[in-house]
A and B are shown apart, each in its own frame.
Chain A
Amino acid sequence: MLKKILIANRGEIAIRVASACRQMGITAVGVYSEPDRTAKHIQYMDEAYLLGPASPLESYLNIDKIIEIAKNADCDAIHPGYGFLAENSDFAERCEREGLIFIGPRAETIRLLGSKIESRKLVKNAGAPIIPGMELSSNNFEEYRKAAEEIGYPVLIKASAGGGGKGMRIVEREEDLADALESASREAKSAFGDGTVYIEKLLKKPRHVEIQILADSTGRTVYLFERECSIQRRHQKIVEETPSTALYPELRRKMGEAAVKIAKAAGYLNAGTVEFLLDEDKSFYFLEVNTRIQVEHPITEMVTGIDLVAHQIKIASGEEIPFEQKDLHQRGSAIECRIYAEDPENNFFPSSGKILLCSEPTGPGIRCDSGIYSGYEVTVHYDPILSKLIAYGENRRQALERMSLALKDYVVLGIKNNIRFLYDVINHPEFHEGNTDTGFIPRNFPEYQIPQNDNDKLKYALAAAVYHSEKKSPAVGVYGKSEAPTPWETLGAFRLF
């Protein structure tokens, strides 16, 4: 078993990984950028080392520095979390070369699956379904034109190196194809440094359904069922749930087996996610493989009872997966809401500033993986995810009721956030019916406004505001500080050492 792991990340995921390490008796080593000295993740580490200035390139993406710290601190492995270096094959390769275990797939697997065009080829050869489309990119417009004609309009242009919606264009008619190809390629080039684009069939109302897999070094590969992640804004997931309301046992098994087939074809090791689009007619198509632990992994943990991060560590230690496919079951229902520092009234623009007060919900079936606290300063340097709220219930209805209450009880004051928006999303009738597809947010919340406050509550709010402001000074501790002094402060001179 690994003894000491450097966690090359920040925020809630660094805390999640640290807690798995510490539970297993493994020393958790944290890293931080200058403004993150007081970030929450550092409080959960056994050791912590400074990476450098705020800029990700000088801190959480600084491969040389991370490797140097890991070696100096005598770490035997590095967990990359998600984002930052998690899907960087050069980093995985560098770890291997330096004698450090990268907790994730092998470098060549990351490289292979990182290319959309290469992975489409692999999936097709493995006999799993891909969206009808081009297998090769081309410099010849005529080939794109022919491909689009064969597939049938509307078509979707996508970037080979793509992600996050960059380099994507929907084309309805042939006469728009040339311009769309050109601008998509330009956008892909500036976003990913690679202007390669290809064409595939556009699904009208697809759902985003992904399959969690685990694979060990002996080749044993299992699937841990699906996560439905159709609720997205700007191509970013914000609400995820499992089981999906669109799957039935036979389809679930088919998708799970397809995911395992793809993983085996890629020589996959450790935890990963095979993403599919599910069409209205229940055909499913391969989208991509995420070669990392995902943001939404907790909902799978809730319904399977399997600690995915602990198994990542065990697999990286060389252990075999101790269960087989037939041992795995889904029990109950789980939903996750991503709490972001962003303004839902202003195109989800990221916000920053000081969290004046934070109070997180608890209760039956509630899990809150959080990277914030009262007084924490949200900076502009990193992803605006603040925390993840997860609700588990014996069925979907109870999970939703619990989530609804937990969102009401979630207090984050001082910065713009999406908590109220998430509440309105999960309480939308279409969501209740399980009628979710990737067009849900643009269709139902085109110009979102936070609902007006109930005037009945205003008197309570006003009383609280005035009392808080005026009574703040007198009714506190001896020195008028917000905390009462401890005996240590009042005892006077004292020798500790």
Chain B
Amino acid sequence: MTAGFSFPELLASALIVLGSGLALIGSWGLVRLPSLMERLHGPTKASTLGLGAMLVGSVAFFQLVEGKWTTHEMLVSVFLFVTAPIAANMIAKVHLHQLRFGKEPGPAGPPAAPGPDSQWATYEAPRPGTPGCFADEPAPDRRD
């Protein structure tokens, strides 16, 4: 090993290069995939393993080089994992609305209705009895 490079530094830089490489591939997917719904898959990659690898690299660097534990990276990844699906879901719902107003669907076509007497919640208000819709349910039992 050449002078000036220690194992922890090499490990941290390898993880950062891996993470940014995955983020780059995710961004390339955003450019080249055919339509909105396919493009949505690009950023989910960058924000999960790409960022995860960079954060692990950061933890490894501070622990092995500076000798202290940093825990903020864990919080970053937890909040990202909680919020990323919501952002993707909102974009998908807007896309579903736009399909109704004449937007060209992607190669997968418009989604078929789930059943003959059923429709997706973006197109129809939730019915009573739907999970989370407490309108017609008796008062839920409280556990004290």
- Please indicate whether A and B come from the same complex rather than being unrelated chains: no
